Structure 1
Amino acid sequence: MSSTNKSECVANAYTSRKLSARYPTDLPAWKKLAEHHKSDMGDRSLRELFSRDKKRAENFSLEAGDLNLDYSKNHLNNTSRKLLTQLAKQADVPAAIKAMFAGETINRTEGRAVLHVALRAKIADKVAHDVPGITEVWEVLTKMESFVDDVQSSRIKGSTGKKLTDIVNIGIGGSDLGPVMASRALRTYWKDGMRFHSVSNVDGTQLDDLKNELDPETTLFVICSKTFTTLETMTNANAARAWIIDRLDAVAVQYHFVAASTNHAAMDDFGIRTDFRFGFWDWVGGRYSLWSAVGLSLALVVGMDVFKAVLSGGRRMDQHFRQAPLEENMPVLLALIG
């Protein structure tokens, strides 16, 4: 592509100042940062930076909620930090933060809002209240709580009347990594007798090996696919369904499968009961889906009280991100120095 055509494409794609500011190399603060690095920081070691500032660890640390961020071992000084926050201001980061919490379409490539923060919010936080379907967040959360309590109290049982104790998350990408990571981090909070498993590999060996550990009568599969058509996820889901039918019967499918999805026709065909379905929304990015109904497998193992505590912790950081000045804002500073 010629340089002229390339420039035209860039100009057409990024017509507003806010979008073009995402490429910050032409901003004044960027140029000052480059000059600062060359003249003041290029040859300085961390040892020298610490020797020049005896309180460096204190001066380059932040607290928010229960978290402490020590970023003193990054190659920057007070001038660097000042210029970095100037860069964020010139790039309209504060306006972008406001736009995200308002539910504006900041995911330009897909034409969507970015509202995982709504999944952790309280109604009083007034996060994107004008976005269609936003109030469904709390409806789904209430439904999840009732379902989790019913499973753990054995009001919901397997098809043979046994307690459901082995929870198998079937997903890929964010629908797998989030629940798996959180389940490991919260291992000490697993309820007595409950076990978490995951299946994401499409080659079949992962599920085959897992089946050797499972009793079909006590196993509940959680299928996580917004469209209920994701190839890898549905390949594993169909294999698990065939196993349940073989070991139990066809009726057992409606007792041993639950889904986080929005494709009701496909869930009908699969055999998912309507009360075993949990929706989520196109403004939930995959990497953040743990905070939605995709987190159901985690909630089933640790209990809804712990899952709600996880949501609460996320909300505290969201409030910090929304309210803290740039120079004291953990997510912003980590992005700037990263």
Structure 2
Amino acid sequence: MSLENINPTATSAWRKLTEHYNETKGKQLKDLFEKDPERAASFTRKWNDFLLGFSKNRITNTTLKLLLELAEEVQLGDAISKYFGGDIINETEGRAVLHTALRASKDDVILVEGVNVVPEVYEVRNHIREFSEAVISGKKKGYTGKAITDVVNIGIGGSDLGPVMVTEALKFYKNHLKTHFVSNIDGDHVQEILKELNPETTLFIIVSKTFTTQETLTNALTIKDWFLQKASVADIAHHFAAVSTNTEKIAEFGIAQENVFPMWDWVGGRFSLWSAVGLSVALAVGPQHFEEMLEGAHRMDTHFKTADFRDNIPVLMGLLSIWYNNFYNAETEAIIPYTQYL
């Protein structure tokens, strides 16, 4: 089933929020803190290692009450249930939105067109683990018998940005493999990376759902030509892997079937790092840490799915965005991490 199409601006809560904004827009934070000594505690939520402190936002208890009323009126709970249940909520493309299934528990049942997708997800996760362990340990070798020392991810958009971000964020856990990312169609980008590589000890991962993405395939073919200056066509099977659904094109490229990892159309590009698109992450930090990241995301999924909205961190942050975006016309959000890894 699709989502209920409810116009939030036509709700009773929105009318109340408009009136409330007009009454409170001139209030200063210092006055709000002076008036309510318990303000910091009232606007703090703790869940596991997460601490959400939102007392320094331009809200009052009434603001929060009305925002929660808005969530109820637009049937947010029903939307969350449909999201996790595999309903077709991506109406533009007519698809489910199920990156949450990529980090679900093994015994969960998540149906897409009547088929439980969780067993297939775990088949791919096991493949990622086995492949990564073989490369990291040196069991999987290059065409001259040397161990792999470098991994190059070839992708664009979510197939590049997500893995780049995570490998940087988890650098503390990095192993001996050097990871590189090629996304820019500019030939200089590819050539500068190739200067650092030895074809005998480099693994290339081509990430393209259709295996027809122009930028990705251009870079992949450039790298293939460079590789074949030293190696043979048969050696491609030892040094190239693919994350894609286009088995015909993959085979034409020369990639061995055991080095192919599938994707699903119910995973959007910006969320794809939780899938086999994260293979470069598993190789960089080890499959155990990759799986721990998936488990952490699953715990947050469960919190989002089950927690009361008043204590639900994703919901509260979303409601604050609605408040600022629509009433204060503050449409820009800054994420400013203090840790250098981010």
- Cα distance in 2 for partners of 1:91, 1:217 equals 57
- Displacement of 1:101 in angstroms is 1.1
Match among 140, 148, 156 for residue 156 of structure 1: 140
Match among 45, 69, 88 for residue 86 of structure 1: 69
Residues 125 and 51 of structure 1: is their aligned pair in 2 closer, same or farther, counting only changes over 3 Å? Answer: farther
Size of the aligned set, in residue pairs, is 319
Matching residue of 1:44 = 27
AA matched with 1:33: L
- Cα distance in 1 for partners of 2:55, 2:69 equals 19
Residues 59 and 131 of structure 1: is their aligned pair in 2 closer, same or farther, counting only changes over 3 Å? Answer: farther
Match among 198, 211, 216 for residue 181 of structure 2: 198
Runs (5+) with no aligned partner, structure 2: 322-342
Secondary structure in structure 2 of the residue aligned to 1:68 = strand
AA matched with 2:221: N
Matching residue of 2:339 = none
% identity of equivalent residues: 47
- Cα distance in 1 for partners of 2:224, 2:116 equals 34
Q: Deviation string for 1:293-318 (max 9, x for gaps)?
A: 00001101100110001001100100
AA matched with 1:314: A
**Range with greater deviation from structure 2 (311-320 or 208-217):** 208-217
Q: How does 1:13-24 map to 2 (within 5 A)?
A: 18-21=3-6, 23-24=7-8
Cα RMSD for the two superposed structures = 1.4
Secondary structure in structure 2 of the residue aligned to 1:20 = coil
- Displacement of 1:94 in angstroms is 0.2
AA matched with 1:20: N
**Given the alignment of the two structures, is residue 317 of structure 1 paired with residue 332 of structure 2, yes or no?**
no
- Displacement of 1:132 in angstroms is 5.4
- Cα distance in 1 for partners of 2:32, 2:109 equals 43
- Displacement of 1:176 in angstroms is 0.5
Matching residue of 2:200 = 217
- Cα distance in 2 for partners of 1:50, 1:127 equals 46
AA matched with 1:223: I
Moved over 6 A (4+): none
- Cα distance in 2 for partners of 1:98, 1:157 equals 46
**Range with greater deviation from structure 2 (172-181 or 239-248):** 239-248
Q: Deviation string for 1:222-253 (max 9, x for gaps)?
A: 11111000111111111111111113232221
- Displacement of 1:70 in angstroms is 1.4
Matching residue of 1:271 = 254
**Given the alignment of the two structures, is residue 241 of structure 1 paired with residue 224 of structure 2, yes or no?**
yes
- Cα distance in 1 for partners of 2:180, 2:168 equals 10
- Cα distance in 2 for partners of 1:70, 1:163 equals 48
Contact 1:194 1:301 in 2 (8 A): yes
Matching residue of 2:98 = 115
- Cα distance in 2 for partners of 1:54, 1:243 equals 67
- Cα distance in 2 for partners of 1:126, 1:66 equals 28
Match among 155, 158, 179 for residue 163 of structure 2: 179
AA matched with 1:319: T
* TM-score (ref. length: structure 1): 0.91
Matching residue of 1:257 = 240
- Cα distance in 2 for partners of 1:334, 1:320 equals 14
Match among 313, 316, 319 for residue 330 of structure 1: 313
Matching residue of 2:18 = 34
Residues 131 and 38 of structure 1: is their aligned pair in 2 closer, same or farther, counting only changes over 3 Å? Answer: farther
- Cα distance in 1 for partners of 2:26, 2:150 equals 56
AA matched with 1:116: H
**Range with greater deviation from structure 2 (285-294 or 195-204):** 195-204
AA matched with 2:100: V
Matching residue of 2:329 = none
**Range with greater deviation from structure 2 (130-139 or 178-187):** 130-139
